[in-house]
C-alpha cells in the first residue's frame, strides 16, 4: 500500500448523493450540494483542488453506489486527503456503515467533514459527535419506519390497497376498481387452467401469441400466470404483510403476521372457483416435459405391476420404429418385470374405456364423487381451523414471554373463534347439488371424448388431465382409469 505521507497534491473529495424520491419529496438538489461544498473549501482556504463524486438517483440504505465505490478506490490509492459532504445522511443512513467508512478513512489518513453537522473526524470531538449523530439518525429512521408500518397496517385492515394495482384492476384513491378489459383476460386464464387443463407455460404462450401484454407491457411468463392464479385479490380478499422484504432475499412471514381482510375488494373470480384452482395448483404436478410430449398418455400412465410411471420408448429400426409405453422402473433400474406395450394399443384401450365409462355414469357414481368432494372440503376447513389454533398458541407463548400486548392476544383469540364458528356453520350447511354435479360429469366426459379425435395431442392431453387422475396398465386390454373430481 502506498504511504500517504509522501503523496503530493492529494485531492479533497466532494461527495454528493440524492435519491429520486428525496429530490421529488424534499427538493434536494445535486447542484446545491456542490455549490455549498465548493464555497466551504474556498472559505477554509483549501483552493479548488477537489474531485467530484456524484451518485444521482441512489438510496443511502446501502453502500452499493458506483461513485462511492470509485471514491473508496481513490482513498485506497492515497490520492484523497479529505472527504467532504453537506450532511451526514448523504453518505449513509446506517451507523454501522458510517463507522466502517470512517475506519477506512482513518486507516488512510483521510479526514471526514460534514458541513451541516460542523465536525471533522480528524479531531476526537468530531469522532464523538459523529457516533452520537449517527445513532440518533438511525434511531429516528427506525421510528419513522415503525410509524409508516403502523399506518399501512391500519389502512390495510380497512381494505385500502397499498401497492400498485394487480392486473385486472385500476387504482383510484387507494381503492381497486375493476378494469373491464383486463378482467376478461383474468377470467379466461382461470378458465384455461381449470376447465381446459392448460398449464402456466401453455397459458402464457397462448396470451403472447395473441399479442396480449401484461400490466408492465411485457410478455407473459410462467411466474406471472402462477401469481395471477394464486392471488387472493381476485376472490375479493386483501392479504398484506405476507412477505418480509427487509432482507436481501425475500421470505414469507408466518401466517399469523399477515393482515387478511375478506370481501374487501371487487371480485373478479367467485370464491369456489378460486379455491378449486388453489387445490389444483397444490396437487402433485405432472412434469412439464410429460405435459408437452406428443404422446396421449405421457405423464398419466402407470405400471400395474409396480406402480411406477410408464414413458415412451422406441423399438425396431427405421423406417419400422414403433412407439411403446415402458415401465420406468424396468427401463432405468431393471427392478420390474413388466413388459412394454404398443403405444397405439394402449391409447386405443384408453379411448374405448373412457367411452364405456361415460355410458355407465349413474347416480351411485355421482354420489361417490359428491362424498369425495365433501371430504376434501371438510379436510380443508379442518386444516384452516388447526392453523388458527396453532397461531393462537404461538401468540400465547409470545404474550407469556412479554413480547406482545394483551390486546394482540385477544385479537388473535377472536380471530380463531370466528374462524372456528364459520367452519362449523359451513360444515352444517355444505352440500352438493347432485343434478348439477351429474351434468358436469357428463359434460366433461363428452368434452374430453370429442377432443380425443379433433384436437392436437397436447391440447387433448390438457383436457384429459381435468378428468383423469391416472391410467394403470395391468396386462393386455386390462387397464384402470382413475378419475378426478370434475370441476
pLDDT band at 408 (very low <50, low <70, confident <90, very high): confident
pLDDT band at 186 (very low <50, low <70, confident <90, very high): very high
As a whole number of angstroms, the distance between CA 442 and CA 262 comes to: 34
C-alpha cell at 228: 395471477
Omega of the bond leading into 319 within 30 degrees of 0 (cis): yes
As a whole number of angstroms, the distance between CA 113 and CA 93 comes to: 16
Omega of the bond leading into 416 within 30 degrees of 0 (cis): no
| DSSP states along 245-310 | -SSSS-EEPPGGG-EEETT-S--SS-HHHHHHHHHHHTSPPPPHHHHHSSSTTTTTEEETTT--BE
State pLDDT tens for residues 194-229. Answer: 887 788 888 998 899 899 988 877 889 888 999 999
DSSP-derived letter for residue 167 is: T
Residue in 322, 325, 323, 296 with CA at minimum distance from that of residue 309: 325
- How many CB atoms are located within 10 Å of the residue 247 CB? 7
Answer left, alpha or beta for residue 159, where phi above 0 means left and psi between -120 and 50 means alpha: left
> Which span out of 344-353, 389-398, 421-430, 448-457 was modeled with the highest average pLDDT?
344-353
Three-state secondary-structure class, residue 61: coil
Residue in 270, 277, 264, 170 with CA at minimum distance from that of residue 215: 170
Is residue 3 pLDDT above 80, yes or no?
no
| DSSP states along 238-257 | EEES-EE-SSSS-EEPPGGG
State pLDDT tens for residues 262-306. Answer: 787 889 998 888 888 887 787 655 555 555 567 888 888 899 888
Query: Do 121 and 106 form a contact (C-beta atoms < 8 A)?
Result: yes
As a whole number of angstroms, the distance between CA 321 and CA 340 comes to: 14
Q: Give the residue numbers marked as catalytic.
A: 19
Residue with cell 378489459: 181
Amino acid at each position: 500500500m502506498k504511504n500517504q505521507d509522501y503523496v503530493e497534491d492529494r485531492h479533497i473529495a466532494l461527495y454528493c448523493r440524492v435519491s429520486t424520491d428525496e429530490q421529488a419529496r424534499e427538493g434536494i438538489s445535486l447542484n446545491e450540494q456542490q455549490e455549498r461544498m465548493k464555497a466551504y473549501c474556498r472559505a477554509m482556504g483549501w483552493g479548488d483542488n477537489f474531485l467530484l463524486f456524484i451518485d444521482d438517483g441512489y438510496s443511502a440504505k446501502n453502500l452499493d453506489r458506483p461513485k462511492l465505490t470509485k471514491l473508496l478506490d481513490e482513498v485506497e490509492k492515497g490520492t484523497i486527503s479529505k472527504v467532504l459532504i453537506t450532511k451526514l445522511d448523504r453518505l449513509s443512513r446506517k451507523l454501522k456503515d458510517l463507522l466502517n467508512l470512517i475506519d477506512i478513512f482513518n486507516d488512510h489518513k483521510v479526514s471526514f467533514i460534514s458541513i451541516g453537522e460542523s465536525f471533522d473526524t480528524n479531531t476526537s470531538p468530531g469522532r464523538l459527535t459523529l457516533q452520537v449523530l449517527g445513532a440518533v439518525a438511525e434511531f429516528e429512521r427506525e421510528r419513522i419506519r415503525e410509524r409508516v408500518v403502523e399506518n399501512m397496517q391500519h389502512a390495510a385492515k380497512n381494505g385500502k390497497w397499498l401497492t400498485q394495482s394487480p392486473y385486472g384492476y385500476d387504482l383510484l384513491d387507494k381503492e381497486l376498481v375493476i378494469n373491464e378489459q383486463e378482467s376478461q383476460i383474468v377470467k379466461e386464464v382461470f378458465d384455461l387452467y381449470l376447465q381446459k387443463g392448460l398449464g402456466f407455460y401453455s397459458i402464457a404462450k397462448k396470451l403472447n401469441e395473441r399479442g396480449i401484454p401484461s400490466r408492465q407491457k411485457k410478455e407473459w411468463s410462467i411466474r406471472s400466470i402462477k401469481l395471477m392464479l394464486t392471488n387472493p385479490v381476485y376472490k375479493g380478499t386483501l392479504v398484506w404483510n405476507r412477505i418480509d422484504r427487509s432482507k436481501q432475499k425475500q421470505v414469507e412471514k408466518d401466517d399469523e403476521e399477515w393482515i387478511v381482510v375478506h370481501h374487501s375488494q371487487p371480485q373478479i373470480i367467485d370464491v369456489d372457483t378460486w379455491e378449486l384452482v388453489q387445490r389444483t395448483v397444490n396437487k402433485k404436478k405432472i412434469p412439464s416435459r410429460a405435459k408437452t410430449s406428443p404422446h396421449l398418455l405421457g405423464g398419466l400412465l402407470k405400471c400395474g405391476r409396480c406402480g411406477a410411471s410408464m414413458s415412451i420408448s422406441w423399438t425396431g429400426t427405421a423406417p419400422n420404429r414403433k412407439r411403446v409405453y415402458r415401465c420406468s422402473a424396468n427401463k432405468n433400474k431393471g427392478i420390474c418385470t413388466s413388459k412394454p406395450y404398443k403405444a397405439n394399443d394402449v391409447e386405443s384401450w384408453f379411448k374405448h374405456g373412457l367411452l364405456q365409462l361415460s355410458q355407465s355414469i349413474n347416480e351411485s357414481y355421482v354420489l361417490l364423487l359428491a362424498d369425495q368432494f365433501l371430504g376434501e372440503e371438510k379436510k380443508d376447513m379442518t386444516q384452516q381451523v388447526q392453523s388458527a389454533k396453532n397461531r393462537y398458541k404461538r401468540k400465547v407463548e409470545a404474550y407469556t414471554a412479554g413480547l406482545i400486548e394483551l390486546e394482540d392476544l385477544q385479537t388473535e383469540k377472536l380471530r380463531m373463534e370466528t374462524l372456528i364458528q364459520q367452519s362449523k356453520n359451513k360444515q352444517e350447511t355444505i352440500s352438493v347439488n347432485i343434478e348439477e354435479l351429474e351434468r358436469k360429469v357428463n359434460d366433461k366426459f363428452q368434452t374430453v371424448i370429442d377432443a380425443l379425435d379433433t384436437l392436437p395431442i397436447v391440447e387433448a392431453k390438457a383436457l384429459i388431465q381435468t378428468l383423469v387422475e391416472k391410467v394403470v396398465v395391468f396386462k393386455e386390454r386390462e387397464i384402470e382409469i382413475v378419475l378426478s373430481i370434475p370441476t
